[in-house]
Every structure is written in C-alpha cells, then in structure tokens.
C-alpha cells in the first residue's frame, strides 16, 4: 500500500447505511493522510459523502431507476457512461462496504482489486465470490463498527477502538427558520416504521414548551400533509421542500432531533446533534442512533414505544 493510496468506496444505499459508512473515510485519512478517496453511491444519497471533506470525488449512479428500464436505450447509454467513469483511473483498493451481489458487480467495473466481506460475513454470501479478498467481520456488530473493521482489515491498520468520527460538514447557507428550533422527523420509507400521529403532536408540544419551534420535516409530497397536521397540533412549522444538502444544514443547527429510524435521523446524529431515534419495526441494536452528541434509541420490532416513554426519555436523557 502506497502512502497516498487511491481508494474507491462502494456503499450505494440506503441513506442511513451511507451515513454509517462515513467514519471509514476519517479512519483511512488518520492512517493515510494523503489518500485519495472516491465514493460510488446512488444519486439520491450523493450529498451524504459530499459532506465529508475527505472524499475527493462522488460518483453517482441510478441503478434503482435503471433496473426498471433495462430495455431502454437511454438506460444502457447511462450505464455505459458510469462504467467509463469508474474506469477513468486505477485504484489501489476498491472497498465494497455493502456486501451485496449488486454492489460487488458494480465494484468489479472499476479498475483495481475489489475487497469486501468473506462469505460468512457478507449480507449476500455470493458477493464474496467476486472479491479478490474477503475479511471476516462478525454480523452481530453495530453497522458503523462493521464498516470500520472491514476497512481496517483490508488496509492493514489496527482495528479502531476510539469513537467513530463522522467528519461531516453541513453547508452554512440555505433555508433556516428564524427562531431557535427543534426537529421532528415523522416520515419513513415504510408504513411499518411509522409512529402514531397523535404522539408526534404531544412530543412537539413538549419541545414548544421548552422554548423551541417544532420544525416538522418531510421529503415527498405525500408526507407534507402529515407534517402540516403535526405542526398545526403543536404550534410548529413546516419547511419548504429541501434538498439533502439543505436538510443537513437545518439538522446541524437543531437544538434537539426526534425522528424515526430513517436516514435523516441518522444524519442528525452524525452531525453531532442530540438525537432520539424511535424504532417501531426494527431492532436498534445493529443500526441504532450513533453520533458524537447525546443520542438514544427506543423501541424495536414489535415494541412500538408509548408516548410517555418517549417523553420520559427526552426528560431523563436529554434534559428536555
């Protein structure tokens, strides 16, 4: 390994998973300060690695879109352009942090040795057959730690023991409310992740009583109506549609964040904000809220937390 290795990170989805991979950049640069790090990621999440000043180049892809239009000439033209972009230069290491067959196949499009998890550690064991070398990383570890251990194994430095450094820098400009505010994130990609609407209004009132404007975030048009109802029930506000980068700027200045197990909640924690994650259909153990600020996770699969439990945790753990 040279003192200035060229490294391509492959971590394409989803937003929370991409956030959880960013400490790998900080780890690599701590051992190889002159490393040149590129990142292959799905286009909707490209703003996340762009927030890390240690990432030289972000290469966006649109596989989620292309897989539904494989018979389109425009799709194959776009795929060809991406393959050409991946072959622009030779990498010393192509590090697949995803561990899926699709991520391994895309990693193989780049020029350089592709490495990842071994068969027993990968999310899809078949992916390991496409790697030049695999490494064993226990599956029962938190996602951030798994990423960090995999990078250490393949780049030949000691497994990290210090707390993860996400290293993300939110943009200083963009839409911001005038008042001091806290953030609620009540929307998620799956209905099974949702928490009852009436509970959100109660949490918002708690934040309002603390002297903070409850700011209810949304991302898709169908989520805006829910956000407006919750805001109306707690004297809160709803921002206009924000890009991922602008959303990061809003999260970075929040006094408190309460959100579901979704990408923006994980991003808030990665930005160092006090963050409480509510889990309704997934155990937080392997993908719990992680960050340098005060964080906590509550709930789990089949364990939808009650309103008084969330409010109590806000008081006991966050002093709200």
pLDDT at 70: 87
202-223 average pLDDT score:
96
| pLDDT band at residue 203 under the 50/70/90 scheme | very high
- Please determine, for residue 55, whether its predicted confidence score (pLDDT) is greater than 90: yes
| pLDDT band at residue 214 under the 50/70/90 scheme | very high
Q: What is the pLDDT of residues 61-117, one digit of tens each?
A: 999 899 899 899 999 999 999 999 999 999 999 999 999 999 999 999 999 999 999
Q: What is the pLDDT of residues 161-180, one digit of tens each?
A: 999 999 999 988 889 998 99
Whole-number Å distance between alpha carbons of 99 and 116: 7
Q: What is the pLDDT of residues 125-155, one digit of tens each?
A: 999 999 999 999 999 999 999 999 999 999 9
Whole-number Å distance between alpha carbons of 297 and 234: 23
- Tallying the residues shown for the chain, one arrives at 320
pLDDT at 269: 98
| pLDDT band at residue 189 under the 50/70/90 scheme | confident
- Please determine, for residue 210, whether its predicted confidence score (pLDDT) is greater than 90: yes
- Please determine, for residue 282, whether its predicted confidence score (pLDDT) is greater than 90: no
- Please determine, for residue 195, whether its predicted confidence score (pLDDT) is greater than 90: yes
pTM of the entire predicted model: 0.96
- Mind spelling out the 3-state secondary structure of the chain? CCCCCEEEEECCCCHHHHHHHCHHHHHHHHHCCCCEEEEEEEHHHCHHHHCCCCEEEEEEECHHHHCCCCCCHHHHHHHHHHHHHHCCCECCEEEECCCCHHHHHHHCCCECCEEEECCCCCCCHHHHHHCCEEECCCCCCCHHHHHHHHHHHHHCCCCCCCCCCCCCCCCCCCCCCCCCEEEEECCCCCHHHCCCHHHHHHHHHHHHHCCCEEEECCCCHHHHHHHHHHHHCCCCECCCCCCHHHHHHHHHCCCCEEEECCHHHHHHHHCCCCEEEEECCCCCCCCCCCCCCCEEEEEECCECCCHHHHHHHHHHHHCC
Comparing CA positions, the residue from 18, 10, 3 lying closest to residue 155 is: 3
Q: What is the pLDDT of residues 218-271, one digit of tens each?
A: 999 999 999 999 999 999 999 999 999 999 999 999 999 999 999 999 999 999
192-208 average pLDDT score:
96
- Please determine, for residue 1, whether its predicted confidence score (pLDDT) is greater than 80: no
């Amino acid at each position: 390994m040279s003192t200035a290795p060229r490294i391509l990170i492959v971590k394409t989805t989803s937003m929370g998973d991409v956030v959880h991979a960013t400490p790998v950049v900080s780890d690599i640069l701590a051992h190889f300060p002159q490393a040149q790090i590129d990142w292959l990621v799905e286009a909707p999440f490209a703003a996340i690695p762009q927030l890390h000043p240690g990432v030289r180049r972000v290469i966006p892809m649109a596989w989620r879109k292309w897989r539904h239009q494989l018979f389109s000439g425009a799709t194959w033209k776009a795929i060809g352009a991406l393959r050409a972009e991946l072959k622009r230069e030779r990498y010393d290491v192509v590090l697949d942090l995803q561990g899926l067959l699709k991520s391994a196949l895309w990693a193989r499009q780049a020029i350089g040795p592709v490495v990842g998890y071994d068969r027993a550690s990968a999310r899809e064991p078949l992916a390991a057959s496409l790697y030049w070398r695999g490494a064993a990383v226990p599956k029962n570890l938190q996602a951030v730690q798994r990423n960090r251990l995999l990078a250490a194994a393949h780049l030949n430095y000691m497994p990290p023991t210090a707390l993860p450094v996400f290293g993300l820098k939110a943009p200083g400009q963009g839409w911001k409310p005038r008042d001091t505010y806290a953030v609620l994130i009540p929307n998620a990609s799956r209905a099974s992740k949702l928490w009852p609407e009436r509970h959100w209004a109660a949490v918002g009132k708690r934040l309002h009583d603390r002297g903070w404007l409850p700011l209810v975030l949304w991302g898709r048009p169908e989520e805006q109506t829910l956000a407006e109802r919750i805001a109306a029930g707690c004297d809160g506000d709803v921002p206009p549609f924000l890009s991922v980068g602008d959303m990061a700027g809003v999260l970075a200045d929040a006094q408190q964040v309460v959100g579901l197990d979704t990408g923006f909640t994980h991003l808030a924690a990665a930005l160092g904000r006090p963050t409480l994650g509510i889990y309704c259909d997934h155990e937080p153990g392997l993908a719990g809220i992680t960050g340098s600020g005060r964080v906590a996770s509550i709930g789990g699969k089949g364990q939808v937390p009650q309103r008084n439990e969330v409010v109590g945790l806000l008081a006991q753990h966050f002093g709200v």
